[in-house]
Amino acid sequence: MHTRLLAQIGIFKTFIMISKALKAPFFTPLFRLLMVIGFVLAARPAHAEFRAVSLDNNFPDEIAAAKEQGKFLVIMFQQIGCPYCEKMRARVYPDPKVQKYYTKRFVLIESNIRGELEVVSPQGQSMTEKKYARKNRIRATPTFIYFDKNGKQALKVTGFMDVSRFIKAGQYVVGGVYKTKTSFYRYLQKSTK
């Protein structure tokens, strides 16, 4: 709630600055409409706070930034038109349990398996998103690769995950279960008994 109030104040200040810069009267009908829209958008509940946008697609930097926050990096490999990717975004990410668990522990960024943007792999190699996906044998979407805090792949999961399974994937990584050589699928079987 406090964050939303700060966002609303920030939007209000921005509108005042724009009004002054344009030498427009402060409370014109257009200005009031923009203010209302800004307040409505700022008042909406935040979803998927663990999701981030990589500005330079430099995965070693993203892993280091996540580590500084005490978090792990997850890359969601997706493609335009992927219905299961959209289902993850619409149904799983906004879930309060996912929000609570992932926001404290993970930073998630997306990479397009058909994309031509330049990325730097965790090993420091430059290539396109498409080549990076191919190198990681990503053929279906969504595919999630979880990295430990040292940049090593801890888990790779292909396909839609419901809320419970998505949280279990996070627990598998955070709990260090991947270090025991217990497969994620064996971990799921044990945890549902």
Q: Is the pLDDT of residue 75 over 50?
A: yes
Note the pLDDT of residue 1: 39
Domain boundaries, the chain: 2-43, 59-191
Q: Is the pLDDT of residue 134 over 80?
A: yes
Residue-wise pLDDT for 2-46, tens only, equals: 444 445 555 556 656 666 666 656 556 666 666 666 655 555 444
**Average of per-residue pLDDT across 98-117:** 95
Note the pLDDT of residue 15: 56
Note the pLDDT of residue 49: 73
Q: Where are the beta strands (DSSP E) in the chain?
A: 72-78, 106-112, 118-120, 126-128, 143-147, 153-158
**Average pLDDT of the chain to the nearest whole number:** 85
Residue 145: which of 78, 47, 91 has the closest Cα? 78
The class (CATH top level) of 59-191 is alpha beta
Note the pLDDT of residue 4: 46
Residues counted in the chain: 193
Confidence band for 192, pLDDT divided at 50, 70 and 90: confident
Note the pLDDT of residue 90: 95
**Average of per-residue pLDDT across 106-119:** 95
